[in-house]
A and B are shown apart, each in its own frame.
Chain A
Amino acid sequence: MLNSLQYAGRDAAPGAVSQGPGLVWVRHLGIKDLRNINEASVELHPGLNIFCGHNAQGKTSLLEAVGFVARGRSFRTENSRSAIRRGAPMLHARAEAGKEGHFSALEVRVQPGRREFRVDGQQVSPREYQGRLEAVVYSTDRLRVIRGPMRERRQFLDRSAGALWPAYRTDVRAFERVLSQRNAALQEGARDLPVWTERFLELGARLRLRRAEYAARLSAMLQRGFAPAGEEYEVLTRPARVAAEADARSQLAGEIQSLQRRERAVGRSLAGPHRDAVELLLNGRDAALEASSGQARSLLLALVLANLEVYREETGRNAIALLDDLDSELDQDRTHALCQAAAGRTQALVTSAHPVWAESLRSRGQLFHVSDGKVQRA
Chain B
Amino acid sequence: MDYPAPVARLIDELRKLPGIGPKSAQRIAFHLMRGSRDDATRLSEAVGTLLDGIRTCAQCHAVTDRELCAICSDPARSAKVLCVVEEPHDLIAVEKTRDFRGRYHVLHGALSPLQGIGPDELKIQGLLERVREGETQEIILATSPTVEGEATAVYLARLLKPLEVRVTRIAMGVPVGSDLEWADEVTMAKALEGRREY
Chain A interface (Cβ < 8 Å from any Cβ of B): 113, 170, 173-174, 177-178, 180-182, 184-185, 187-188, 190-192, 195-196, 198-199, 203
Q: Which of A180, A187, A192 contacts B111 (CB 8 A)?
A: A192
Question: Which residue of B is nearest A185, CB measured?
Answer: B113
Across the interface, do A195 and B147 meet the contact criterion of CB distance under 8 Å?
Answer: no
Q: Which of B112, B114, B147, B155 contacts A174 (CB 8 A)?
A: B147
Residue numbers in A under 8 Å from B118 (CB-CB): 190-192
Residue numbers in B under 8 Å from A198 (CB-CB): 151, 154
Chain A nearest CB from B109 CB (Å) reads 12
Q: How far is the CA of A198 from the CA of B147 in the complex (A)?
A: 12
- Top 5 A-B pairs ranked by shortest CB distance? A184-B113, A185-B113, A177-B147, A195-B155, A184-B114
A196-B151, A198-B151, A199-B150 are known; give 11 further A-B pairs, CB within 8 A: A113-B23, A180-B114, A188-B113, A192-B111, A192-B151, A195-B151, A195-B154, A196-B111, A198-B154, A199-B151, A199-B154
Chain B nearest CB from A76 CB (Å) reads 26
Q: Is B27 an interface residue (CB 8 A)?
A: no
Q: Is B158 an interface residue (CB 8 A)?
A: yes
Q: How far is the CA of A184 from the CA of B114 in the complex (A)?
A: 5
Chain A nearest CB from B60 CB (Å) reads 22
| Size bracket of the B interface | 10 to 19
Question: Which residue of A is nearest B155, CB measured?
Answer: A195
Q: Which of B113, B154, B158 contacts A181 (CB 8 A)?
A: B113
Question: Which residue of A is nearest B175, CB measured?
Answer: A127
Chain A nearest CB from B99 CB (Å) reads 27
Question: Which residues of B in the span 141-172 have a Cβ within 8 Å of any Cβ on A?
Answer: 146-148, 150-151, 154-155, 158
Question: Which residue of A is nearest B154, CB measured?
Answer: A195
**What are 5 A-B pairs at a CB distance below 8 A?**
A177-B146, A191-B118, A195-B155, A196-B113, A196-B151
Q: Is B176 an interface residue (CB 8 A)?
A: yes
Chain B nearest CB from A144 CB (Å) reads 29
Classify the secondary structure of A's interface with B. Answer: helix
Q: How far is the CA of A325 from the CA of B177 in the complex (A)?
A: 39
Across the interface, do A181 and B114 meet the contact criterion of CB distance under 8 Å?
Answer: yes
Q: How far is the CA of A199 from the CA of B154 in the complex (A)?
A: 9
Across the interface, do A178 and B147 meet the contact criterion of CB distance under 8 Å?
Answer: yes
**With A180-B114, A191-B118 in contact, is A170–B151 under 8 Å at CB?**
no
Among the interface residues B114, B119, B147, B158, which one has the most CB atoms of the partner chain A within 10 A? B147
Residue numbers in B under 8 Å from A173 (CB-CB): 177
Residue numbers in B under 8 Å from A174 (CB-CB): 147, 177
Across the interface, do B113 and A190 meet the contact criterion of CB distance under 8 Å?
Answer: yes
Q: How far is the CA of A196 from the CA of B117 in the complex (A)?
A: 13
Question: Which residues of B in the span 99-152 have a Cβ within 8 Å of any Cβ on A?
Answer: 111-114, 116, 118-120, 146-148, 150-151
Q: How far is the CA of A184 from the CA of B155 in the complex (A)?
A: 17
Q: How far is the CA of A199 from the CA of B148 in the complex (A)?
A: 10
Chain A nearest CB from B144 CB (Å) reads 13
Question: Which residue of B is nearest A196, CB measured?
Answer: B151
Question: Which residue of A is nearest B122, CB measured?
Answer: A192
Q: How far is the CA of A182 from the CA of B148 in the complex (A)?
A: 11
**With A181-B113, A181-B114, A192-B113 in contact, is A170–B147 under 8 Å at CB?**
no
Q: Which of A180, A181, A191 contacts B151 (CB 8 A)?
A: A181
Residue numbers in B under 8 Å from A180 (CB-CB): 114
Q: How far is the CA of A300 from the CA of B176 in the complex (A)?
A: 34
Q: How far is the CA of A180 from the CA of B148 in the complex (A)?
A: 11
Chain A nearest CB from B192 CB (Å) reads 23
Residue numbers in A under 8 Å from B119 (CB-CB): 191-192
Question: Which residue of A is nearest B146, CB measured?
Answer: A177
